[in-house]
Every structure is written in structure tokens, then in C-alpha cells.
Structure 1
Amino acid sequence: MAQCLAELDGVFLALADPTRRAVIHRLGRGPASVGDLAGEATMTLPSFMKHLRVLESNGLIHTAKSGRVRTCRLNQERFAVVEDWLARQRRLWDERTDRLEQFATNPEKENTE
């Protein structure tokens, strides 16, 4: 469980920055070279590379070098960590709102669950 939470923390940390979210959004349309991605950013290449390293170290993207070109690809499977967490949160809140609705519509009825 602790490893799963650490992975989730890393993914959310990576997604917390607007530059990194823009990279994820762009890679959602397909692979792109670092040069193409950096051209869309308003910062120096070394600063942009730090963002790519955060995304890659948290498993959100993969990079591969072919000759002088480094290409980035989205790792869609990594988003399963977030999807699983969101599904658990949704179930938790659905259960809570169901109990609240039951209490609000039947306040004198004792909950036996």
C-alpha cells in the first residue's frame, strides 16, 4: 500500500506543473521529439529537460534516442494508478452520500449496517 501511495504521489507531483501537463496533453496526440516539445515551451532547453526528467522518472513518459533525436511517448498504463485511486475515492463518496440520503429520507429509522 505504501508503495502504491508513493507512486500516486509521484504521478500527482509530475502533473502538478502546467508545463508538464502541457507535455502530457501534447503526447496524447502521439509521440514527439524533445525539440518539438521544447519549441512549444517558453523556457530554455535545460529547464525544459528537467520537466521531462520528472515525467520520465515518474513513469508518465518514455524516451528513446535514435541518432541525434530523442523521442518521447506517453505511457498510458501509468495513468492506471490515478484511475484506481479515483475509482476508490468515487466509491467511498458514493457510499457516504448513499448513507446521507438514507439518513435524510428516514431519520427515525436506525441504520443496521
Structure 2
Amino acid sequence: MARAATTSDVFNAIAEPKRREILMLLRDGDLPVMDLSLRLGIPQPGTSKHLRVLREVGLVRDHREGKQRVYGLDARGLRSVHEWSGGFERFWNESFDRLDAYVQDLKQQQQQTERRHDEEQDG
């Protein structure tokens, strides 16, 4: 089965690291395209191409402020990603539960070691 075109599929659009970086930058507020270019370290035409893809899949919106084009995050477009990744939450929770148990075991071992050390020094 052929993959959907990048410009119509949120998953394909966010597969590109620079596009994910743009979304991260826009979480803190709207930015002009030139500011995004500087922060990304890529020329403005490249930034504009990434923004066009993100706009076409509904992840960013834009408006004009004077001569500048300003972009903002439209996180509603990430709903499908959130719903899909939520199906894996059980696995993350199990991993966090195992990590928590491990940390608790380490703390208990450390406390026992400290008690033995204190007893040796007192005795």
C-alpha cells in the first residue's frame, strides 16, 4: 500500500526533524518566519517549505503582521498522533512502574548500608 503524501499526512509531516523542531519552537508562541529560520539555522526558503507542509496538514496557522508572515502552532492537528500514541501508554506506565520499583530498591539498599555503617561506627 502506498504511503500518503507528506502534505496530507500528519505522521509523515512530523517525521522530518526540522518540522518537529518548528513545532517545539511554536509551543512558546507565534514567531515570524525569519526568527524561525535563525533559530533553526537554515535559510528562509527552506523554513518556508517546512512551514508550508505543516500548514497543509493543519499543524500551523499563519497571518501577516506588516511585511512579516507570522506562524503559530495549531495543536488540534496533533490529535491523531496523540490518539495513536496513547495506545502505547500502558507500555510506558509499565516501564515507569518498573523504574520506580528499581529506585525504591536502591533507596532501601542505601538506607541499609548507611545503618550498617552507623552501627559499625557506634559499636
The normalised TM-score by structure 1 is 0.66
Query: Number of matched residues?
Result: 86
Offset of 1:66 from its aligned partner?
A: 2.1
Residue number in structure 2 paired with 1:90: 88
- Which of 1 and 2 has higher RCO (CA within 8 Å, sep 6+)? 1
Which structure has more helix as a fraction of its residues?
A: 2
Which consecutive residues of structure 2, in runs of 5 or more, have no partner in the other structure? Answer: 92-123
Distance 1:41 1:84 in 2: 28
- 1:45 CA displacement: 1.5
Cα distance in 2 between the residues matched to 1:61 and 1:78: 8
Larger radius of gyration: 2
Distance 2:44 2:55 in 1: 16
Give the corresponding residue for 2:27: 28
How far residue 56 of structure 1 moved from its aligned partner, in angstroms, is 0.6
CA RMSD of aligned residues (A): 2.3
Question: What aligned pairs does 1:1-113 form with structure 2 within 5 A after superposition?
Answer: 10-87=9-86, 89-90=87-88
SS of 1:63's equivalent? strand
TM-score by length of 2: 0.61
Partners of 2:25 and 2:32 in 1: CA distance: 11
d(CA) in 2 for partners of 1:16, 1:86: 14
Q: Secondary structure at the match of 2:19?
A: helix
- 1:104 is aligned to none
Per-residue deviation at 1:42?
Answer: 2.5
Identity %: 32
